[in-house]
Structure formats: structure tokens, C-alpha cells
Chains A and B, each alone.
Chain A
Amino acid sequence: MKLLAVTACTTGIAHTYMAAEAIEEVAKKKGYEVKVETRGSIGVENELTPEDIQSADAILIASDMAVPMERFMGKKLLYVPISDAIKDAEGLVEQAFKAPVYKGDKKDLVDEVAEIKEKKASERRGVYKHLLNGVSFMIPFVVAGGITIALSFIFGYNAFQNEGTLAYYLKAIGDAAFGLMVPILAGYIAYSIADRPGLAPGMVGGLIAVNLNAGFLGGLAAGFLAGYIVYAIKKYIKLPKTLQGIMPVLIIPVLSSLSVGLIMYYVIGIPVAALNTAMNNFLTGLSGANAVVLGLIIGLMMAVDMGGPINKAAYAFGTGTLAAGTGSAVMAAVMAAGMTPPLGLALATALFKNKFTAAESEAGKAAWILGASFITEGAIPFAAADPLRVIPSIMVGSAVTGALSMLFNCTLSVPHGGIFVLFAVGNIPGYLVSIIAGTIVTTLLIGMLKKPVVEK
């Protein structure tokens, strides 16, 4: 006769092993063959193999925890709390051989799968989980804003400048959605960290990041700041019972928004302003440099923070080189390099499906249009979710595009519009080659650097 057992207790320190010992001892005394799997804090030890289970006459499970059950289908099985095994191992061993056959049922399997999923989700803890939460709430704003702005370009790249026209309103709607993008990102990062009370300081901090031109990187900072500040307030500020009611409605919102806001202005705002000035000076100083190098640097700048201070500096520098009526090579490089990040990511979501979440894959489809319309922000959801891998990839791709555009001496005579303003480009074939080359470089780098998504 062969008995298999599984033991597990809630802390996994002592009873798991005492029960295992008791069962082994009793079984050996009775002359049974025995093997006990222990599932304690150390991990699973002495795990039962399919062969063990195949040859077993009965299974005894003494556990206060969920144990993988599917494998015992068709075996006599007795399931008891662990304390029973310590109290009366002898009786249980006998009972196990008379136990009914375990049939399992669908519900158990579904429950188990749900449990595994939940466990995986909780493992995906920390920074990454908070980022993904923020990004998933931000994506609709990016898509809505980007597509609406792109629609306004259909009426001409500068049609939105005429107040009261449809193009004007389309652009205004798109800007409204874009304006909410970073506050939502920051708000829901904080929400993920600190629950509901995190939302207000997160969104406030996010909007300050926008006002400071700190871009989405500033928004990320605001979100984490707000989340952890609220978390700390909840943990360390203890009010007497009678006053606890004012914590969520008064103390937490005011204190956290105030601290996040002040930190954003004093700690993030000043360096960002300094960065803006430094970038402008840097680019002005580069004006005389080798054109290809300048294109490369512009590409890097356009991609690094997508609408943040560095990107803005490069864009402003580009528009500054526009003189009425004539095309500018710098402006052409700026726009081309600003188009490749969303395009490269769109292509990557199509080619490397396992490396993106379902929400990201959907955003990838919209990113085609955003990229083609020179709305670099289309890349932000991807960059925010995985900055260390995505940002370098898009920077290199944009640098290639910027350098090639300069090399081919492409020019552009308008400040915005993407493919809608191709008529204003000098050397269109060269321009398209530059953009496609950068897009492919970005896609390949993402394919190499990004890890497959583990959830789901």
C-alpha cells in the first residue's frame, strides 16, 4: 500500500513539518510506503511526481491553505485541517485508504485558475504595477486627443488657427484631452499606490507638471510622489478616534496636495526651467555644427521626453529656423524625428504581440495615425509603462531619422502637420526613407529590449 500526503499550514514554519513527520512515522510503523510533500515558507519540498501519484493507493492532504488539486483526479483522497494530522495522524492514515475518489469538478479548476491569476497580479507589484495602472487610464485620452488633433489637420495644417471654424474646435477638443493626459497618468499612479485618496494629489501634481512643461516624466514623478506621500500620511498620522472622520475629507487631500505641489514647484520646477534655458543655449551653439550631427542630436531630443522640456526646446529651435517662404532642414528633421516614436511602437505592437498588454496593443493601432500626424505623444503610454526600455529605443530610432533627414538635405517650410504637409517638404523620397528607417530601427530595438508581458 502506498500513501501520499501533502502538508501546509498558514505560516509555513512549524506545523507543516510536524504534520509531515507524524504522517511519515505512522505510515512507516504500519508498513506502508509513504511520501509527504511539504508546502511551507521554504517552498515546496519533496514534491509528488506524476509517477508517485500514479502508483499511490490514497492521498492525505492536511492543509489550511489551497493546494494544487487537479493532479489527484481519480485517487482516493482525504482533505483535513493540518491540526487534525498532528492530533491523530494514525486515524487519518487509515481513513485515507477508505476515502472517496476525488473527482474534481469544473468549478475547482476555474477557481484555481482565478487564484493563479490573482497571485500573478499581486506579484506584479511595486513600481511596474502602479505604472501600468496609470498608463491604462491615460491611453483613452491620448487616443482621443491625438486623433481629434489629426482630424483638424485634414482641413490644412494651420486651419485650426481660424477661431470659430470646425478645425479650430477639433484642435481645442484634442488639446483638452491631451491636457488631461498627464494629470490622469499621475492621478492613477497615485491611486494604485494609495487607493482613492491618492487620486486628488496625483492629478494636482500631474497638472502642475504640465504647467511647468515638465512633460510626462514630470507626471510620473508627481504620481509616485503623491502616492507615497498619501501612503505615508495614512500610515504615520494617527488622529484620535473622534477626529478620524476628517482624515479622508480634510487632512489627506489638503496635506498631500500641498506637499506634492510645493515639491513639484520647488524641486522639479526649478531644474526643469534651468534645463529649458540650457537646451536652448546648447542648440543655438550647435547651429554651425555638422548638419548630420545636429540632426542626430535633434532626433535624440525629440524622443527623450515626448513633449517634455527637451522635446519642446528642440521643437522651438526648429520653428525658429523657419523663415517665411523657404524650407528649413532643421524643421524637417524635427518633424521626422517626432513622427518615428509612435510609428515604431505601432509597428512593434503589430510584430511583437507578446510584449504588450491588450490595452497597449489597442493603443498601437491609434499610434499609426498619431505618428503619421507628428503627434509624438502617441508614444507616451508605451514609454510610461516601461521607460527604461522604450525611451532608449525611440531615441535611437529618432536619431537615425533626424540624421538621415539632414543627410538627404530634406527641408520643411511649415511647423506641423505630419503627412498632411508632405506638400511642404523638399526631397519627399529622402524624407520618407528617413522616417521609415528610424521607424524600423525603433521597432527592432523594442523587439530586442522589451520583455514578454507576464500577466494574463
Chain B
Amino acid sequence: MLINENLIDMNLEADTKEEAIKKLAQMAYKEGRVNDIDRYVEAVLKREAEYSTSVGFGVAIPHGKTDAVNEPFLGFAKVKGIDWSAPDEKPVDLVFIIGVPEAQAGNEHLKILAKLSRRLMKDDFRQLLRQASSKKDILAAVQEAVA
């Protein structure tokens, strides 16, 4: 599975996007998805530097494609309104973090991430995520979105 309950944080303490990314990377590291936190964070921040991965509507999807990732993963966290240089300048409260190995085996995971990305553009899906009060609800919403 791309995502599980250990990759979800319903209340992540972070004041900056760098801090949020680092904490999410640690979460992925604990789950064995990332083998080198520093290198993974570096890849994500490098991508972030090209242009912000915030897509507006309070959502950001930092992501990195690097050898530091063992296995594709998706992490999720609710945060308290971080400035993410969003195109609509709104603070971000929903963060999906994505990691994909440089040489991925198969497209299955990428297809799921593509579907999720599309769903994130929909208001009803974002509402669902905001209203979710437990990790189970988040998992269910994500699974429904990519089904």
C-alpha cells in the first residue's frame, strides 16, 4: 500500500514548510519507505524551489523522486495554516507528501498518485479531508478517491 495509518498525522506541529517536510520525511523513514532523510528532503526542497507544490485551496503536495526512496509512498498531514507560497496566497492546511524511487518498478503507484492529484482539484474531496476526524476516515477518503 502507498499509504497506511502510520503515514498519517492528524495534527502535525510545524511552523514552516521546511519543518513540515522534514517531519513527514521522518515519518516515512520510520516506516522504512525512505533510506536517507537528508537526501530525500533535499530532493523535495529542490523540487519545491522550482515552484511551490502548493496548488491553492489550502493544499500542498511536496514530492521527491530520488534513490533515497525505497518504496513509493504517500503521507498525509493536517497542519495549522502554513505559508507555502501558494498561487492563491492562502495558507496550507492539508499536506500530501509523495516519494517515488528514481527507478520505479511498474506504473501502478504512479497511476494512483495521478488519480489522487486529479481528485485534489475537486472541492468535495478537500471538504471530505478537512472534515475527517480520524486516520481511518482519511484512509477511507483516499482509498475512495483512487479506487
Contact = CB atoms under 8 A, between A and B. Distances in A.
A137 to B, nearest CB: 30
Contact of B100 (A13, A25, A81): A13
A178 B37 CA distance: 52
A39 to B, nearest CB: 12
Interface residues of A, number: 24
Interface stretch (A40-48, A102-110, A161-169, A263-271): A40-48
B118 A86 contact: no
A42 B113 CA distance: 10
A312 B84 CA distance: 71
Given A21-B117, A41-B104, A14 B61 contact: yes
A18 B118 contact: yes
Given A18-B55, A41-B104, A13 B110 contact: yes
B87 A38 contact: no
A40 B98 CA distance: 15
B121 A83 contact: no
B87 A83 contact: yes
Interface in A1-26: 10-18, 20-22, 25
A87 B85 CA distance: 12
A21 B118 contact: yes
Interface SS of B by simple majority: mixed
Interface stretch (B13-21, B27-35, B46-54, B134-142): B46-54
Contact of A87 (B53, B56, B111, B118): B56
B121 A14 contact: no
Contacts of B98: 13-14
Nearest to A22: B121
Interface residues of B, number: 27
A16 B114 contact: yes
Contact of A38 (B51, B107, B114): B114
Contacts of B120: 18
A17 B118 contact: yes
A68 B14 CA distance: 42
A88 B88 CA distance: 10
Given A11-B47, A11-B63, A86-B56, A18 B87 contact: no
Contacts of A13: 63, 65, 98, 100, 110, 113-114, 117
Contact of B117 (A10, A15, A43, A81): A15
A24 to B, nearest CB: 9
B135 to A, nearest CB: 22
Contacts of B117: 13-18, 21
Given A21-B117, A22-B121, A83 B107 contact: no
Contacts of A14: 53, 61, 63, 98, 113-114, 117
Contacts of A88: 87
A42 B56 contact: no
Contacts of A87: 56, 87-88
Given A41-B104, A42-B107, A83 B114 contact: no
Interface of A: 10-18, 20-22, 25, 38, 40-43, 64, 81, 83, 86-88
13 contacts: A11-B47, A12-B110, A14-B53, A14-B117, A15-B117, A16-B114, A17-B113, A17-B117, A40-B114, A41-B65, A41-B100, A41-B104, A42-B114
Interface of B: 47, 50-53, 55-56, 61, 63-65, 87-88, 98, 100, 104, 107, 110-111, 113-115, 117-118, 120-122
Given A11-B64, A18-B118, A83-B52, 15 more contacts: A11-B65, A14-B53, A14-B61, A14-B63, A14-B113, A16-B114, A17-B115, A21-B121, A40-B114, A42-B107, A64-B50, A86-B55, A87-B56, A87-B87, A87-B88
